[in-house]
Structure 1
Amino acid sequence: MNINDFILNQLPTALNPENTDGVECILQLQLSAPYVIQINDGTCDIQQGENADADVVLTTSDEVFIELITGKIAGAMAFMSGKLKIDGDIMLAKEISDYFIAISVLGSTTIAIPAAVYSVIMIFFAFAVGFIFKYKDKRQKLVNSVVARDTL
């Protein structure tokens, strides 16, 4: 099965109706070919093509997409390393993994990361970024005082 067959035929069957009840969104996948995923109240329709009204656009390579859905790389890590580009509603992009259940992909088995673990990772990341920005001025003053002392 190639990636086109997987996305068009197998991915819609992996939709978790419980987690998408009441959800209406349009996702644009920019892989070697573009795909539009429309989720509407527990149903999923996937077509090849583009939609200018997509709520979020995910751009990556076919290989990285396979790594993402098989759990070999986390979405946050792919994003931070530049392997995944996200345009649009970033909070929606974070929830996409909750919309689909674990499935077999091209002979690989997915490893689903529980949402709680993902949330802890994102909270830690947000804390670390906040900590860096909060103490930026104090760190700069310390560097300046060390530089001034060393130049005397």
Structure 2
Amino acid sequence: MMSTADTVKSMQARFNADAAKGLDLIFGFDITDAEKYALIVKDGTCELQQGENPDANVTLVMDSETLAGIVSGETDGMQAFMGGKLRTEGDMMLAMKLSELFPA
């Protein structure tokens, strides 16, 4: 199984720069059994930051198994949310943009 860091890096590698043109957003990831990360999306670029970013527009809170499942496509993010395995803090509607910005 991939480490949490590798899972987040794999998201960054699938980044869709065209979908991010004109955006200035910070997605926080609070992985409850591992580290915290932020993906900073700014006008077609994506930067990975380790640690918590207090300026995150939305933070997704989940465990590393849920994150790995969502990133691999084995777990549907909406189902994880409805099942209580994923929760959001901040602008929940921005979380919906993740599938456009980081397609499977």
- Aligned partner of 1:13 in structure 2 is 13
The 4+ residue runs of structure 1 with deviation greater than 6 A are none
- Matched AA of 1:13: A
* Cα RMSD (Å): 1.3
- Aligned partner of 1:3 in structure 2 is 4
Task: Look up the SS of the partner of 1:52 in the other structure.
Answer: coil
Larger Rg: 1
Of 67, 70, 76, which residue of structure 2 is paired with 1:68?
Answer: 70
Matches within 5 A, 1:1-150: 1-8=2-9, 10-31=10-31, 32-102=34-104
Q: TM-score, normalised by structure 2?
A: 0.89
Identical pairs, percent: 36
8 Å CA contact 2:39–2:49 kept in 1: the answer is yes
8 Å CA contact 2:7–2:71 kept in 1: the answer is no
From the two aligned structures, give the one with the greater helix fraction: 1
- Unpaired stretches in structure 1, ≥5 consecutive residues: 103-152
Task: Look up the SS of the partner of 2:84 in the other structure.
Answer: coil
- Matched AA of 1:14: R
Q: Across the two proteins, how many residue pairs are aligned to each other?
A: 101
Aligned equivalents of 1:99, 1:67: Cα separation in 2? 17
- 1:2 is displaced (CA, Å) by 2.4
- 1:71 is displaced (CA, Å) by 1.6
Aligned equivalents of 1:12, 1:69: Cα separation in 2? 11
- Unpaired stretches in structure 2, ≥5 consecutive residues: none
- 1:11 is displaced (CA, Å) by 2.5
Deviations 1:60-99 (A, max 9, x none): 0110001111222211111111000111111100111110
- 1:55 is displaced (CA, Å) by 0.2
Task: Look up the SS of the partner of 1:73 in the other structure.
Answer: coil
From the two aligned structures, give the one with the greater strand fraction: 2
